[in-house]
Structure 1
Amino acid sequence: MLSPVFLAHGSPFTIFEKSEFTAFLNRFGKSVRPKAIVIFSAHFESPITTIAATDDIHEMEYDYYGFPPEYYQVQYPARGSAIVASIVEERLRKHNIPVQRKYRGLDHGVFPIMRHAYPEADIPIVPVSVNAFLPARQQIAIGEALQGLEKDGILVIGSGFLTHNFNEFDRNIDAPPRAWAVEFTAWITEKVLARDIEALSNYETLAPHAKKAVPRAEHFVPLLIALGSGTPGHEARVLYDEPIKYGSMSNLSYQF
């Protein structure tokens, strides 16, 4: 099923990791085989929705610091698709969403998870930017403009995290989950499964501990975009869940 998904993207460590999460990504890639992927990454930010259009093999964006040398040598030679980029641009313009084309390579919201899901790099990828400062309802509207792309074999992915607060990050992977993180992620899951667009549009005021869980929204808005791109009436479901790690980090992933 090519229904849109929100995937936690892990950290740069995910590149070489062997874990329950990367095993899930591998299973996902074997069960979902799109003709092309449109991915909204938390690490590709722009005030205007920006499409990285190319037919060439993507460049690599090593947008992280302080890792061993091998983390800056990894390659993921997927191609882009100018045709799919044009489809996305046309859809957005029809919905009066400002859009531009400007090339940017694959960042660590993309290639670490794609290496596990599609290790052969044989599926074209079209990266699209996010704007953390747009209201939540506008984020969902960006996704709504892309509803039905699965009919053309195109998978929409939002890549981010439900919670992303490094001030609450514990270096101990087995640190007890923060109560606020448990409550926030439970609320989000409840509203996602109910497709409660109204509540999720107002998560900043309605969700418990929203300001602590989402101090800056770039990692959260890919969820809203992916949610909006799902076909109304389709059942939303949890794709992957595991206990919260590092005190506050959740790899919760959904399908819409």
Structure 2
Amino acid sequence: MTISSVFLAHGSPFTIFEESEFTMFLNRFGKENRPKAIIIFSAHFEHEITTIAATDDIHEMGYDYYGFPDSFYQVQYPARGSTIVASIVEERLKEHNIPVQLKYRGLDHGVFPIMMKAYPEADIPIVPVSVNPYLPARQQIAIGEALQGLEKDGILVIGSGFISHNFSAFDREKDAPPREWAVEFKNWIRDKVLARDIEAMSQYNVLAPHAAMAVPRAEHFVPLLIALGSGTAARY
């Protein structure tokens, strides 16, 4: 089965070097899904206007994290971009009256750690696209809807972020159980995504339990909405 889109948690910079159930999943996902090109909406690439990082060259590395050992700033992931795929995204968004621009930006840690695990050969072109966390949820979904059907051309749309992302409520104790509010929010989101309930997801911030706690700022959540909009059927 060819999938059209997927939402992936991007973990932390530690994902680069760790071996875990999460990284094993990414490895399995990459082996089972081999697109010709990838469009990725990263929570760490924000812009008011939807911005496409267009290049045919090997991407620059954006080490957008602080306080890690030197080895974290020496990692290379030499994937190329694709101006052809970037132009397809631009054309699709313009057709749907979505403001868009081409402006280059390298790979951030919402992109290269998970891509290193899923596609370690770096042999699939990657086109990063920005998110605007201030747009209403329905508009986020509409950005994804503009990209529906690209799997027919071998293009996979990825949203990279987190379902819940609240550092002020983060429990740093090792092996700490998940917070009850986070589980309830995640379960609600999962049910609505699997049901492809666009109406409910468009109002997640008022309908989902503990939404304000789970999503105090939406930059990590909107990649899920975009992936939902561009998708056809849930699989993972």
- SS of 1:212's partner is helix
Query: Which structure 2 residues correspond to residues 174-185 of structure 1 after superposition, within 5 A?
Result: 174-185=175-186
Note if contact 1:2-1:154 (Cα within 8 Å) is conserved in structure 2: no
The Cα shift of 1:135 comes to 0.1
Gaps of 5+ in 2: none
State the alpha-carbon separation in 1 of the partners of residues 144 and 193 from structure 2.
Answer: 14
* Paired AA for residue 194 in structure 1: A
Aligned to 1:249: none
Note if contact 2:56-2:82 (Cα within 8 Å) is conserved in structure 1: yes
* Paired AA for residue 88 in structure 2: I
Query: Which structure 2 residues correspond to residues 217-256 of structure 1 after superposition, within 5 A?
Result: 217-231=218-232, 234=233, 236-237=234-235, 239=236
* Paired AA for residue 139 in structure 1: Q
Note if contact 2:4-2:148 (Cα within 8 Å) is conserved in structure 1: no
- Percent of counterpart pairs with the same letter? 83
Deviations 1:105-143 (A, max 9, x none): 000000000000000000000000000000000000000
- SS of 1:162's partner is coil
Pairwise CA RMSD of aligned residues? 0.6
* Paired AA for residue 151 in structure 1: K
Aligned to 2:190: 189
- SS of 2:78's partner is coil
Query: Which structure 2 residues correspond to residues 96-175 of structure 1 after superposition, within 5 A?
Result: 96-175=97-176
* Paired AA for residue 77 in structure 1: P
The Cα shift of 1:209 comes to 0.3
TM-score between both structures, scaled by the size of structure 2: 0.99
Aligned to 1:252: none
Kindly report structure 1 stretches of 4+ aligned residues shifted beyond 2 Å.
Answer: none
The Cα shift of 1:54 comes to 0.1
TM-score between both structures, scaled by the size of structure 1: 0.91
Deviations 1:222-254 (A, max 9, x none): 0000000013xx3x23x2xxxxxxxxxxxxxxx
Note if contact 2:37-2:85 (Cα within 8 Å) is conserved in structure 1: yes
State the alpha-carbon separation in 2 of the partners of residues 12 and 173 from structure 1.
Answer: 17
Aligned length: 235
Gaps of 5+ in 1: 240-256
State the alpha-carbon separation in 1 of the partners of residues 32 and 196 from structure 2.
Answer: 24
* Paired AA for residue 122 in structure 2: A
Aligned to 1:71: 72
State the alpha-carbon separation in 2 of the partners of residues 225 and 70 from structure 1.
Answer: 33
- SS of 1:55's partner is coil
State the alpha-carbon separation in 1 of the partners of residues 174 and 15 from structure 2.
Answer: 14
State the alpha-carbon separation in 1 of the partners of residues 18 and 49 from structure 2.
Answer: 34
